[in-house]
Amino acid sequence: MRRRWVSMSELLVVASKVRAYLKEKNAKMSGDLPEAINAKVMAILDDATGRSRGNKRTTVKPQDV
């Protein structure tokens, strides 16, 4: 499947939650980290969608991930 670049307004991850998680780990977040995480999440969802369609389903299930 073709992956597309999304703008900050289309992020699937919440930057403040990522920042808080990293703060608990005594780490900091760069400004472009949420976009990189978003790209990974979208790739995972694209692959899972392909697997569900391969099984003749439109519902993506945990086993597709």
16-52: pLDDT as tens digits = 999 999 999 999 999 999 999 999 999 999 999 999 9
Q: Is residue 14 part of a domain?
A: no
Q: Which pLDDT score is estimated for 10? A: 80
Q: Is residue 1 part of a domain?
A: no
Indicate the pTM of the whole model. Answer: 0.78
Q: Is residue 35 part of a domain?
A: yes
Q: Is residue 19 part of a domain?
A: no
Number of domains in the chain: 1
Host domain of residue 50: 31-65
12-26: pLDDT as tens digits = 999 999 999 999 999
Cα atoms in the Cβ-side hemisphere of radius 13 Å centred on 44: 11
Q: Is residue 18 part of a domain?
A: no
Q: Is residue 53 part of a domain?
A: yes
